[in-house]
Amino acid sequence: MRKTGTARFVSDLHLSAERPDLTARFAAFLADTAASKVTTLFILGDLFDAWIGDDDLAQPFNAEVCSLLRKLSDQGTQLFFMAGNRDFLIGDRFAQAAGLQRLDDMERVCEKVGAGETAILIMHGDTLCTDDTDYQAFRQQVRNPAWQSDFLARPLAERRAEAAALRQKSRAATKEKSQIIMDVNAEAVRQALIASGCRRLIHGHTHRPGCEHIALADGVAERWVLSDWDTHRGDALEVSTEGSIRRIDLAT
Ligand code: LP5
Ligand code: MN
C-alpha cells in the first residue's frame, strides 16, 4: 500500500460503553486528525475492548463509534483497520458503515521520500509474542474461519456472555504469565523486519510504548511500539510526508 501525506497510527484503545472518558478522547483525537488534514489514519487493532460480531452494530455505543469514524472518513481522511486480539471479528459490514478499509494482519506501507522510497511494516503485535504459546494456540483456534462462523451463528446475548467470560480468563491467565513471555520475541521481530525488507516497524498490543533500535546485517531498524489507552496513558504516532516520526501524547 502506498501512503502519501501525513499518516497517524493508533492501537489498543479498548473502547467500551463502560469508558466514556476514552470515547471522548477518541472523538477529540478524530476531530484533531481532521483539523490537521491528516491523509491517512491506521488503526492497528483493539479499537474495541471486545467485538462480538458486526450484527451488534445497532447497539448504541457501537453505533456511536461507527459514526465518529464515518465522519472522519467523510471529511476526507482515509481509514485503515487491522484486527487485534479483541476485535478480530470486525468484518465488512462494520468496515463499510464506518468508512474504513480492512487490512491483513501484516502490511507494508510504502512512502515516497525524496527520490527514494521507504517502507513501514505495520502489525497489531500479537503474532510477535511467540513465547506466549498458550495465547498462540488460542489465537489459532479463534482465527479459524469455521470456528468464527459457528460463533457468529450464536445469539448475541450468548456471544456477549462468552466474550465477558473469556476476558475474565484472559485477565487471570495474564496475571500468571511472566512479563518476558508476554513481550515480543526478539527473533520474531528480526525475521519480520528481514522478510518484509522494512527498516521501520510500528505495532501495539504489548502496552509498552517505546522505540527500540535493532541492528540488522545491513543497517539499523526501528521498532516503534504504541501505547494502550487508559487513564493517564495513550498516544498516536504520526509519520510526516518526509518520513519523520513523532509521538503524540494523548494521555488525560
Ligand atoms: O488482551 P489482553 O492484553 O488482556 O490479553 C491478550 C491475550 N488474551 C486474549 C483474550 C482476549 O482478552 C479476549 C477477547 C474477547 C473479545 C473477542 C470476542 C469474540 C471471541 C469470543 C471467544 C469465545 O487475546 C492473552 C495474552 C496477552 O494478550 C499478552 O499477549 O497473554 O492471552 C490469553 O490470556 C490466552 C490464554 O493464555 C489462553 C486462553 C484461555 C481461555 C481458553 C478458553 C477457550 C475458549 C474457546 C475458544 C475457542
Ligand atoms: Mn492486543
Q: Which atom of ligand 1 is nearest to the CA of 132?
A: 31
User: In this structure, are residues 5 and 235 in contact, taking their beta carbons and an 8 Å threshold?
Assistant: no
Residue 83 Cβ inside 6 Å of ligand 1? The answer reads: no
List the residue whose alpha carbon is closest to atom 24 of ligand 1: 85
Give, in words, the CATH class of 2-133+178-249: alpha beta
CA–CA dist 134, 65 (Å, integer): 32
Mapped onto helix, strand or coil, the DSSP state of residue 56 is: helix
- Tell me: the pLDDT tens digits for 160-203? 999 999 999 999 999 999 999 999 999 999 999 999 999 999 99
Supply the pLDDT for residue 144.
98
Instruction: Answer yes or no: pTM beyond 0.85.
Output: yes
* Distance between Cα 204 and ligand 2 center (Å): 7
Q: Which atom of ligand 1 is nearest to the CA of 165?
A: 23
Residue 4 has pLDDT above 90, yes or no: no
Residue 134 Cβ inside 6 Å of ligand 1? The answer reads: yes
List the residue whose alpha carbon is closest to atom 19 of ligand 1: 52
> Any idea which residue has 447497539 for its cell?
59
- How large a percentage of the chain has pLDDT more than 70? 99
Give the Å distances, CA to CA, from 117 to 4, 136, 218, 232, 241. Answer: 11, 34, 17, 36, 12
Residue 30 Cβ inside 6 Å of ligand 1? The answer reads: no
Residue 181 Cβ inside 6 Å of ligand 1? The answer reads: no
- Four-point Cα dihedral 61, 48, 207, 147, nearest 10: 150
Residue 128 Cβ inside 6 Å of ligand 1? The answer reads: no
User: In this structure, are residues 185 and 130 in contact, taking their beta carbons and an 8 Å threshold?
Assistant: yes
- Bridge partners, 41 (sequence order): 8, 79
Supply the pLDDT for residue 118.
86
pLDDT: is 111 or 25 the higher one? 25
- Tell me: the pLDDT tens digits for 77-121? 999 999 999 999 999 999 999 999 999 999 999 877 766 778 999
Supply the pLDDT for residue 157.
98
- Tell me: the pLDDT tens digits for 205-224? 999 999 999 999 999 999 99
List the residue whose alpha carbon is closest to atom 14 of ligand 1: 86
Beta strands in the chain (DSSP E): 2-3, 7-10, 40-43, 78-82, 100-103, 106-113, 116-123, 200-203, 210-216, 219-225, 235-239, 245-249
* Distance between Cα 66 and ligand 1 center (Å): 24
Supply the pLDDT for residue 52.
98
Ligand 1 pocket mutation pick from 138, 151, 152 by most atoms within 8 angstroms of CB: 138
Supply the pLDDT for residue 244.
93
Residue 66 has pLDDT above 90, yes or no: yes
